[in-house]
Amino acid sequence: MTKEAAERVRTFPSLPEIDDVTRREFLIGAAGLLLLPAGCSRGAVGGGGADARTIEHKYGETVVEGVPERVVSVGYTDQDPLLALGVRPVGIRRWFGDPPNGVWPWAQGELGDAKPELLPADAINYEQVAALEPDLIVGISSGMTRNDYDTLSEFAPTLPQSGEWVDYGVPWQEQTRIIGRALGREERAGELVSDLERRFEQAWEEYPEFEGATVTVIGAGGGFFYLYSEADRSVRFFTDLGLRLPGRAAEVATEDDYYVEISEEQFGLAEADVIICFSASPADEEEIRSHELFRRLDAVREDRVVYLTENDDPLKGALSFNTVLSHPYLLENFAPRLAQIVRRARSNGRAANG
């Protein structure tokens, strides 16, 4: 991804702030550090009560000993599974919006009265993390570089993501299980995953119309337009419910990347039973709403588009997070609305089956 392309989409919530350490190295606080050999991470200083766990990831292995007590979340969404597992991070990385203490409504009950330090969104501040004296650093959704991992591992055992997925692409199930294992709470993590998977199964039964319905997720910002693939976290929520990308959209937006840039003449690729439109600003939303070619789409004419623009909108946040805590929020607060839109498409005989 070029720097220019990254800047265009960095305010879209369905993708992490792209202006981050994935495309530039930050050496703040790193000068003079004696780094451990590649792939190693020193053990935790946590108390007893849990056997040592070895966790494999894209940069090697991390060993966590004892029970971590001071956990820093440098990932964009890792605070959710931490909180779901009963751990209140001492540091949380900002992403977008301004939720209280860096936590959205679906996780505020788990945070309680704790007030974690908020870390910057654009880069991992090594000195700030070190000052929190962590005994575990979690960055599964951080997109951390090799340099980030080596530096952070000097402070505490550090968890980047598995190399099995693209950056930011670890499924919520795996994210929850890995964090649970690091915390010595693997059994509880499995229970959380199973419980949420059952809730999705209940949604399939409650909304049979989702099966085979089509959805597209698009972005608009700075005069550019994007079509998201099934690698994107927001699209995954819909596919977990039984919806799918239309055939043409899936052919163009492959899982090799989160999205592809499309031209105005390609707006037809977005035709679906439901269109989700992320906009970087109100002006960007107005631009795509008023575009003649976009307005010709059946979904637009029949009011089957969900526009998400304000960064403090919990729906925008929940569709972006794709976590064990945000999905229950969506199943309760968005699934009924989604079902109504799909029914409208079917009743109009305009289901986009691709």
Whether the CB-CB separation of 106 and 172 falls below 8 Å is answered with: no
The residue type of 221 is: G
281 within a domain of the structure (yes/no): yes
Global pTM reads 0.84
Looking at the structure, tell me whether residues 257 and 302 fall in a common domain. Answer: yes
pLDDT at residue 347 in the model: 87
Boundary (domain end) residue, out of 201, 221, 252:
201
Q: How far apart are CA 122 and CA 18, in angstroms?
A: 8
Q: Following DSSP, what letter does each residue of 288-302 receive, concatenated?
A: HHH-HHHHTSHHHHT
268 within a domain of the structure (yes/no): yes
Q: Which domain, by its residues, includes 189?
A: 52-201
pLDDT at residue 233 in the model: 86
Name the one residue in this structure whose structure tokens are 């894209």. 58
Helices (H), 156-296: 172-183, 186-206, 233-240, 247-252, 282-290, 292-295
Task: Give how many domains the chain has, as a whole number.
Answer: 2
73 within a domain of the structure (yes/no): yes
pLDDT at residue 167 in the model: 87
pLDDT in tens, the chain (354 residues): 333 433 433 345 554 444 433 322 222 222 222 222 233 343 433 433 458 999 999 999 999 999 999 999 999 999 999 999 999 999 999 999 999 999 999 999 999 999 999 999 999 999 999 999 999 999 999 999 999 999 999 999 999 999 898 888 899 999 999 999 999 999 999 999 999 999 999 999 999 999 999 999 999 999 999 999 998 889 999 999 999 999 999 999 988 788 999 999 999 999 999 999 999 999 999 999 999 999 999 999 999 999 999 999 999 999 999 999 999 999 999 999 999 999 999 887 754 444
Looking at the structure, tell me whether residues 265 and 157 fall in a common domain. Answer: no
pLDDT at residue 50 in the model: 58
Looking at the structure, tell me whether residues 243 and 288 fall in a common domain. Answer: yes
137 within a domain of the structure (yes/no): yes
Sign of CA dihedral 31, 33, 39, 42: negative
Q: 261: which strand partners?
A: 226
Q: How far apart are CA 186 and CA 180, in angstroms?
A: 4
Name the one residue in this structure whose structure tokens are 């492959």. 254
pLDDT at residue 350 in the model: 57
Boundary (domain end) residue, out of 134, 168, 201:
201
Domain of 129, CATH number, reads: 3.40.50.1980
In the structure encoding, which two tokens stand for residue 176, read together? 């929850």
Query: Hey, how many other C-beta atoms are within 10 angstroms of the C-beta on 24?
Result: 11
**Cβ-count burial of 208 within 10 angstroms (0-12 exposed, 13-18 middle, 19+ buried)?**
exposed
Q: How far apart are CA 303 and CA 270, in angstroms?
A: 14
- How many residues are recorded in the chain? 354
Looking at the structure, tell me whether residues 272 and 181 fall in a common domain. Answer: no
